[in-house]
Amino acid sequence: MGRAGTGKTRLFLDAIEAELKRAPDGPPLILLVPEQATFQMEQALLARVPGFVRAHVLSFRRLAWRVLTEVGGAARPAIGELGRRMVLRALLARRAGELRLFRRVAGRPGFPGRLARSLSEMHAYGVTPDRLEAARRALEEAGAGDSPLAAKLHDLALLFADFRAYLAGRFTDPDDSLTLLARQLPSSSLVRGAEVRVDGFQGFTPQEFAVLEALLPVARRVEVALTLDGRLLDRLDAGVEPAPEDVFHPTAATYVRLRRIARQQGVRVEPPRVLDGGDPPVRFRAAPALAHLERAYFDPGAVPLSGPAPEVALVTARNRRAEVEAAAREILRLVREEGYRFRDIAVIVRDLGEYHDLVAAVFASQGIPHFVDRRRPVLHHPLVELVRSALEVVISDWAYEPVFRLLKTDLVPVPRADVDVLENYVLEHGIRGPAWYRPEPWRFRRRFTLDEDGGPSEAEAAWLAEVNRIRDGATAALRELQERLGPARRAPAPVRALAEALHGFLEALGVHGQLLHWSAEADARGDPDAAQEHMQVYGGVLELLDQVVESLGDQAMTLAEFLEVVEAGLEGLEVGLIPPGLDQVVVGSVERSRHPDLRAAFVLGVADGVFPRAGSEDVILSDPDRDRLAELGLELGPTARQVTLEEQFRVYLALTRARERLWLSCPLADDRGRAVWPSSVFVRVQELLPEAPRRHMEAAGEDDPAGAATIPELAGRVAARLRRALEPSSAGFPATGTGPMGVSGESLEPWLKVYQWLVTDPAAAPLARPVLSSLAYRNDPPPVDPEVAGRLYGGPVIRTSVTRLESLAACPFQHFAAHGLGLRERAVFQVGPPQLGFVQHAALQRLAHDLERDPAGWEGLDAAEAERRIGALLDDLAPRLRGEGLVPTGLERYLMRQVRRSLAGAVLVLAEHARRGRFRPVAVELPFGEADGLPGLAVAGPGGRQVVLRGRIDRVDAAEGPGGRLYLRVVDYKSTARALRAAELYHGLSLQLAVYLLVALAGADRLVGAPAEPAGLLYFPLAAAPLSGSGPVSPEEALAAWRRALRMRGVVLADPAVVRLMEAEGAGELVPARIKKDGQVDSRSGALPPARLRRLLRHVRGRLAGLVGQMLAGDVRIAPYRLGDATPCATCAYRAVCRLDPRTERDRFRTLPRARDRDVWALLDDADGADPASRPDPAEEG
């Protein structure tokens, strides 16, 4: 017996060492310790005795395996934890209709695991299904038969009985192993005559007590070490136990029960050996403050330690990251300055889940070797994802997500680059379902119009062949799995067959070989954890499949049910890794890790509600449930209240682990920024050690360069500080080490000295320069050489589009990224505005061609005829939108109904244009700059370079005016209403309509057989908001509403005769021009006089020439425009490439004046076409 630090473990190790040296091959020497402590105790023993055969460091379960393997009892296979969960998942499904309370939660993830833990607990405490049923009947007799507890007992008894019946004659339950061990111990040569020492336990379960009881008469000697104050022994022997809240209550109860068992067995008990360890105890002789803490922490009458306590540090931090970074810096200081080894140090937390990833990341960045002592769930591992996704692929009929989750595990023998190619193709064409596994090759192609009926070009055919090659390689094994598992989607199949198909799938992919390769790679790069994990996961998955077959092989399930069972097993799949090195910091939870010889302990997360942890109730049996069952004679594990009391013992362990230094830290905010308070442990230590050093740590990167632990961290702090000092300047920082004062006027001299040392010191510079280079960084691409630009954009004759030149006007870098480098966003098929626009344009094109042959023409269309024609056209075009053989989704069908409605309304308005005006379509979907259309618009570039604009005009209308003069107008269909803003046109941001008009005028001879005059450039919206009203709407009212919603916008010729050619009444209901009572065109409408319209077109030509010159000069500046609040950055696909920060790089925007339309038109009257900025006091819109 002895308090912490008195030398109990050392005494046992000394005794075993002495016995091994005295008689290396005598009777067995068994050291029985908790499961998680076996490795550390073996290491401690090997450090004393390099090799031995007599000594065995075992846990209870490992002892059971050794004994049962020797004497029998292990012949039948044992069902593992994974098998238990899977069987319980199947039993829950089978009994779903009979369950009273669990029916609602039986299918939730994790519930089979919680149920398995509850049944294991009952097993450990000797509770049987019959006893559960008896307790339920007792509740019924007491009038509580309808209570939730009675329903829980009913369900638990039913499932427990089913589980035991299922195992009978097939498997052994690991929960029975200790019971079998107690029964078979007398026959084992391993323990007969052995010396057994038991260490590291606070208490024992009933099964473990039974094993100890069986050991007493068999072993030559049994010694048990307990952390217990020797001063309590007299009271305990007199039958007086300490109060439940006493820190030693759990071990005191264990001591009393062990003595009672020995008396019942008639075994002589030697007088307890009490280790007081001296004053101070052995462990704390070099640390008086730790000795005082051990003695006084649980003594309410203890007085504070007078004098300094440098052994204990009390630390608060801004957040968890700052807390972990501070601990890392102190660990490095101890190693560098005080001669500590990493193995002398441990990090202890209460909840490892909150700190695992953070500690791993920070320690790795600081170069601290460490081992996180926990069993790791492996749901993230590629093999686990492969198994889950393979089943989901078949169940979902090859939905996109599971298919590519599977392919991206890298366990399919297809390079990741090929997977990316395949994914891009699948996303672009919306491929899903049977198209994946049909034998026909894929022939889906990008189409720019839905009327493209020609076959693939040579380049397209080669591309399709490559895509199909990748598809075949990526899905060969998966398609075979589909054939074997597909029938089970609807009809149950034997579990054995399903598991065998899945195992065959893994073999067909060569998974084992790939994991061996990954494991070897991990070893080679110095990551033994990953190397172990790969192989353990593979073994775990094979074991899971074996247990599925062994436990459920004869049952029949659908594939969805089989997936639920497999997922229940995968949820419980964990790997336990062996520490890969000897000199490393061990990171673990307070109850799991055992540290036999520790110099410094860093206890993190000492926050209120975290450590000590508030008791958490079992999700199945609550504390009141357990109390009521105890009244009925059913003993189970501790209640949450008891666990909370036992938490004090864990606090005691954490405070007394180290012999020289203790670091207690608490974050003051959680991950969401909410306030966190230090716990009672923190406060109590402050009370007992008032002069212990206290610190508050900010996050790394603050203003203290001395706080950096590594060169890269120091360089990061210097870079961050100098960058802040130089803002808002964007000139960068010179690499010479001399620079400006900070913008706030503070001296940067200390930082500059550190900077100078970092860039000149031979050892530091290679590590610091990559970080410090950020100070001089500015993403400012140099111009492209004009010769290179010419080749980049197309050679001797450059063919481009007006849309591309508009992009150049918006931002030169955007244009370069998209059309010079050819970068583009991943194309994802969805029925949205672009795709619906294809349908609408194709339908209107066909309708126009049909009406050319119809004597009634556009004028003859009424609402019914418009709906009939549009419906027929869309029925033919809609399948082409997705691709032949691909089934549309419900959303796509809904959107097509909306298109049908809006397009019918648009056609009615276009028919109204025909009835009320003289303009008629002379071309629809008219290409230019291509082989089969009008000539492209030629723009002269510098040095005689020729640039030709190409594109497609939605519609060109013509009409004959007075005196036989011909007029042309261009119409561009838009998905929503859009205005032609003069400022955007003037600055080259919206040139499309004007270019279309220039092309049409240049091709008038081919369109109308003679030269023509410009009549207008107009947008026509194809969709409008649904009509609303409180009652029925007449056809006339509906048409009027459509007219208002679909009124054309843009610019028309300010000639009353031309306006009347568009709308005879001149009322401005259809076009943006109205004729006043005096017969003149209203100046407030969108009409331009002929001379101004000509100057507009001339200005557009000049702007095109300027943009072509920019392009060929290699202009790739990151220089987006700003026009009012509008910039192209909001919708730019290349923000991640240019990395422009609008907050700190405002100088990179080109601010364009926001002039009103009439002011811009007035500018066109100036002979020099001066820029709006040159006009005095330009009027602002709005």
The predicted-structure confidence for 842-856, as pLDDT tens digits, reads as follows: 888 888 888 888 888
Q: Is the pLDDT of residue 74 over 60?
A: no
Q: What pLDDT, on a 0 to 100 scale, did the predictor assign at position 547?
A: 80
* 428-442, 671-685, 762-776, 1053-1067: which is most confident: 1053-1067
Q: Is the dihedral of CA 972, 978, 982, 987 positive or negative?
A: negative
In 338-374, where does DSSP find H-type helix?
352-366
Over the chain, what is the mean pLDDT? 83
- Residue 349 tokens, joined: 């937390």
CA distance 149 to 96: 18
Flag the least confident range among 56-60, 71-75, 263-267, 743-747: 743-747
| CATH code for residues 8-76+177-277 | 3.40.50.300
pLDDT in tens, 666-720: 998 887 778 888 888 888 999 899 988 888 876 554 556 666 767 887 888 788 7
| CATH topology agreement for domains 8-76+177-277 and 289-375+580-622+637-697 | yes
**The pLDDT of residue 58:** 92
Q: Say which residues have a Cβ less than 8 Å from residue 245's Cβ, sequence separation at least 6.
A: 645, 648
Partners of residue 493 on adjacent β-strands: 557
Alpha-carbon distance 335 to 332, whole Å? 5
What mean pLDDT is predicted for residues 1096-1125?
A: 92
Question: What are the pLDDT digits (tens) for 1012-1052?
Answer: 999 999 999 987 655 555 566 677 777 777 788 888 999 99
pLDDT tens per residue across span 180-233? 888 888 888 888 899 999 998 888 888 889 899 999 999 999 999 998 888 888
Q: How far apart are CA 1154 and CA 734, in angstroms?
A: 38
> Is 289-375+580-622+637-697 a domain of CATH 3.30.70.260?
no
**Strand 966-974 to 946-960 pairing:** antiparallel
- Whether the per-residue pLDDT at 926 is higher than 80: the answer is yes
Least confident of 750-754, 1152-1156, 1178-1182: 1178-1182
Q: Identify whether the C-beta of residue 488 lies closer than 8 Å to the C-beta of residue 559.
A: yes
Q: Which of 231-235, 306-310, 441-445 has the lowest mean pLDDT?
A: 231-235
Q: Which of 300-309, 600-609, 888-897, 1057-1066 has the lowest mean pLDDT?
A: 888-897
* CA 1050/CA 1016 separation, integer angstroms: 8
- Identity (one letter) of the amino acid at 1117? R
Q: Would you give the end-to-end CA distance of the chain in angstroms?
A: 87
Cross-strand pairs, 1087? 1052
Q: Which amino acid does the sequence have at 599?
A: R
Determine the pLDDT at residue 380: 84
pLDDT of residue 110: 76
pTM: 0.71
Residue with tokens 């809609």: 878
Cα-based distances in Å from 1140 to 733, 771, 1143: 18, 20, 9
Structure tokens at 785: 């050489």
For residue 391, the model assigns a pLDDT of 93
pLDDT of residue 468: 93
Measure CA 607 to chain center: 28
Following CA atoms 526, 530, 535, 537 in sequence, which dihedral angle do they give, to the nearest 10 degrees?
A: 180
Cα distance between residue 983 and residue 985, in whole Å: 5
Output the DSSP codes for 16-63. Answer: HHHHHHH-TTSS-EEEE--GGGHHHHHHHHHHH-S--SSEEEE-HHHH
Instruction: Specify the 3-state DSSP secondary structure of 1032.
Output: coil
**Domain boundaries, given as residue ranges, for the chain:** 8-76+177-277, 81-171, 289-375+580-622+637-697, 382-572, 708-776
> If you average pLDDT over residues 311-323, what whole number do you get?
89
